[in-house]
A and B are shown apart, each in its own frame.
Chain A
């Protein structure tokens, strides 16, 4: 028996509406945890965030007050050096993958980058502990340090940044490449001075995305940086001796982890404050790329 055409059309229209209604419910399900989380974060976090909280050192357990200035500085330092390690290698990879596309090494390293990006962060931490931190066996014997932490984060950043660089370079039209070569410029000059520069907004976006991804990671730092309750004991002037890189360092994600497990109410409150600061920091890194590219390059996409 065939359905009455009008009835059937109504049924189809009704079904269309129901499905779209279900989709809206799903969007709501998505938003609810975010709103709940943000509300707790703001209401709990704002109580403990103050100028002293942002700039002072932590107090010993049991004493109230004190701040997490050293953890904020430590997080920024670890991120900075992670970028120092990941950027040259990521740029080289991006250049190779676009300039030597199709070679066996290119497809092989592309696959390995996917392998690297799939390694759980905790295993990266364990690996860096084994070859950099540990004081026994086959290891660099460096101990818990900023260097070890930033190496771990660099290893997580590398695949993200390298693929972003590759995509950025690939998006530059071939004609730009040819124009440079047509002027008689050597390939290296065309790559470094023209292609990379033209792709810079997208490369920077990739870098900041990668930094935002690893900026909140606690797992890789668990066994690489340990925690410190002090300011770094060496200044910028000692950088040549590498000493500032070789001491344990505080970082926001680890402070949140340890304080939230602690029995002290004051520490738990500080963990909320640290969470708020960390979320703001990571979001700022992630969203600043848009603002930066819009300001510097007037809007979207690739600047040629």
Chain B
């Protein structure tokens, strides 16, 4: 009887060793890791809808007492009075007026200049001058809102009070003569000339939104294919004709989107406006009179507000949010067509 070599027997007695991990198993391992990675990432992404829902919820719940008390009349009421007869009375109209008028006229001033500068940078100037102007615009875009506000309060407002208001007062007397007193009170003015008011806020806002209009219009014009320009030039167009025929029409929706986006920025602008608009919660049809915007009344009164006033301020915030949301969605649609990403600006 032959006996096995003990070494060989030991080897035979051993359980078969596990096969080396197959490529498939390794892939499964890897997939599990990847699945967890993407689960974590997706969970983080879901925080954004959650944030927006909480945001809307908080605004709605906080504004609810005012909504229940005043109903839709809140939007049309002109009073902002904690001691009114028959209890507190709050209304949004003066602030909606101030917000819309200041933002609209700021856009009216800034849009032509902004589009002109964008065209200049995109089509006319090249090289060093171009990068210098672009750099200056970048500085203009970076200056914080409070600094604009301070400059408006201490430099621009006194300047307007000293040099512009006397002249505009003369214009107003002519208007009064032609149309009858008080019929067109555009430059009507009352009180001590300190230069603070709707007009000053409009000027400061216009300067602040200028860089935004330039940079997005510029993107829109750069997105126009060079071949369009070559075609126009090949037909013998001058540079301006080339711009008019081949650059502005295809870039139109992007330029328009830039303006709408700037409008949205102007609607929500707070600090600079609060510092120069004068904070008067009633409606005056005059650029020289003081006014208030939604954001400036919140900045001024939110700190000490309670109960119904707090709820009214929250409803104002909600109204402002809805306004800027509408404006931004329009801008997103217009600029999205050209593949411009305004969120990065």
A residues touching B (Cβ–Cβ < 8 Å)? Answer: 12-13, 15-16, 19-20, 22-24, 26-27, 29-31, 33-34, 36-38, 40-41, 88-89, 92-93, 95-96, 99-100, 105, 108-109, 111-123, 126-127, 129-131, 138, 155, 158-160, 163-164, 167, 186-188, 191, 206, 209, 212, 215-219, 222-223, 253, 256-257, 260-261, 268, 271-272, 275, 278-279, 282-283, 286
Contact B144 A283 (CB under 8 A): no
Contacts of A186 in B (CB 8 A): 30-31, 33-34
A279 CA / B190 CA spacing, docked (Å): 36
Contact B144 A216 (CB under 8 A): yes
Contact A118 B271 (CB under 8 A): no
Given contacts A127-B58, A286-B142, contact A118 B325 (CB under 8 A): yes
List 5 A-B pairs, minimum CB-CB distance, nearest first.
A216-B144, A120-B268, A118-B328, A92-B44, A26-B116
Contact A113 B240 (CB under 8 A): no
Contact B147 A127 (CB under 8 A): no
Contacts of A37 in B (CB 8 A): 143, 147-148, 151, 155
Given contacts A12-B238, A16-B240, contact A218 B52 (CB under 8 A): no
Residue B200 at the chain A interface, CB threshold 8 Å: no
CB distance from B211 to the nearest CB of A (A): 8
Given contacts A16-B239, A34-B139, A36-B155, contact A279 B144 (CB under 8 A): yes
A99 CA / B54 CA spacing, docked (Å): 27
Contact A163 B144 (CB under 8 A): no
Contacts of B216 in A (CB 8 A): none
Given contacts A115-B325, A260-B153, A260-B275, contact A279 B238 (CB under 8 A): no
Contacts of B137 in A (CB 8 A): 30
Contact B270 A122 (CB under 8 A): yes
CB distance from B83 to the nearest CB of A (A): 24
Contact A109 B49 (CB under 8 A): yes
Contacts of B313 in A (CB 8 A): 126
**28 CB-based A-B contacts, threshold 8 Å:** A12-B238, A13-B238, A15-B238, A15-B240, A16-B238, A20-B120, A20-B239, A23-B119, A27-B133, A37-B147, A41-B147, A105-B42, A112-B49, A114-B328, A114-B329, A114-B342, A115-B329, A119-B324, A122-B270, A123-B320, A123-B321, A163-B343, A209-B344, A217-B145, A219-B271, A219-B299, A260-B150, A279-B143
Contact B317 A275 (CB under 8 A): no
Contacts of A126 in B (CB 8 A): 298, 302, 313-314, 317
Contact A34 B113 (CB under 8 A): no
Contact B48 A216 (CB under 8 A): no
Contacts of A187 in B (CB 8 A): 34, 37
Contact B144 A26 (CB under 8 A): no
Residue B195 at the chain A interface, CB threshold 8 Å: no
Instruction: Provide the main secondary structure of the chain B interface.
Output: helix
Contact A96 B45 (CB under 8 A): yes
Interface mask (B129-152 → A, CB under 8 Å = 1, otherwise 0): 000010011111011111111110
CB distance from A151 to the nearest CB of B (A): 11
With contacts A38-B139, A116-B51 known, what are 6 further pairs, Cβ within 8 A? A119-B321, A160-B343, A218-B144, A271-B150, A272-B150, A275-B150
Given contacts A34-B139, A34-B140, A96-B42, contact A118 B113 (CB under 8 A): no
A278 CA / B143 CA spacing, docked (Å): 9
Contacts of B31 in A (CB 8 A): 186
CB distance from B152 to the nearest CB of A (A): 10
Contact A41 B119 (CB under 8 A): no
Residue B88 at the chain A interface, CB threshold 8 Å: no
Contact A163 B341 (CB under 8 A): yes
CB distance from B43 to the nearest CB of A (A): 8
CB distance from B204 to the nearest CB of A (A): 9
Given contacts A126-B314, A260-B149, contact A282 B142 (CB under 8 A): yes
Cβ < 8 Å to A, chain B residues 245-289: 264, 267-271, 275
